[in-house]
Amino acid sequence: MTKFLLALFLIINFSYAQEPKKVIARQGQVSFFSYTSVENIKAENNQVLSIINLEDGSIAISMLMNTFVFEKALMKEHFNESYIESDIYPKATFEGNILGFDAALEGEQTKIIKGIFSMHGVTKELEIKTKIEKSQGKYILSGTFETLVKYYNINIPPLLAGNIAKSISINFRFEYQPYEN
Partner 1 sequence: MKTKKILFTSLLLLGCIHFSTSQDLLDILENEQQDTTGYLPATFRMTRIAFGHSTEVRSKGVLEIFTSSRFWNLPTDRSQSFAADRMSTRFALEYGLSDRLSLGIGGTTFDGLFDGYLKYKLLTQKRGIKTTPFNITLFQSTSYNSNSISNPAIYDDFSDRLSFTSQILISRKISSDFSFQIAPTYVHKGLMVSGDDNQDFFALGFGARYKIGPHLSLVSEYYKTFSPMESFDTYGPFALGVNWEIGDVLLQFMLTNAVNMVEDAFITQTRNNFNFKDPNLNFGFNATYVIHFKNKLK
Contacting positions for partner 1 (CB under 8 A): 1-2, 5, 9, 12, 21-22, 24, 26, 42-44, 47, 49-51, 53, 58-62, 64, 66-67, 69-74, 76-78, 80-83, 85-88, 90, 93, 95, 155, 157, 159-160, 163, 179, 181
Rounded to the nearest whole angstrom, what is the least distance from the CB of residue 178 to partner 1 in the complex?
13
Rounded to the nearest whole angstrom, what is the least distance from the CB of residue 61 to partner 1 in the complex?
8
Rounded to the nearest whole angstrom, what is the least distance from the CB of residue 79 to partner 1 in the complex?
8
176 touches 138 (CB < 8 A): yes
Cβ proximity to partner 1: between 37 and 107 the closer is 37
d(C-alpha 109, C-alpha 15), whole Å: 25
Cβ proximity to partner 1: between 19 and 106 the closer is 19
The CA dihedral of 97, 109, 53, 62, to the nearest 10 degrees, is -70
CA 15 to chain centre: 29
In terms of residues, how long is the chain? 181
Rounded to the nearest whole angstrom, what is the least distance from the CB of residue 135 to partner 1 in the complex?
23
d(C-alpha 107, C-alpha 140), whole Å: 10
d(C-alpha 36, C-alpha 73), whole Å: 19
Cβ proximity to partner 1: between 22 and 131 the closer is 22
Rounded to the nearest whole angstrom, what is the least distance from the CB of residue 122 to partner 1 in the complex?
15
Cβ proximity to partner 1: between 100 and 157 the closer is 157
Phi, psi torsion values for 80, nearest 5 degrees: -75, -40
Cβ proximity to partner 1: between 78 and 114 the closer is 78
CA 76, 72, 156, 48 dihedral sign is negative
98 touches 130 (CB < 8 A): yes
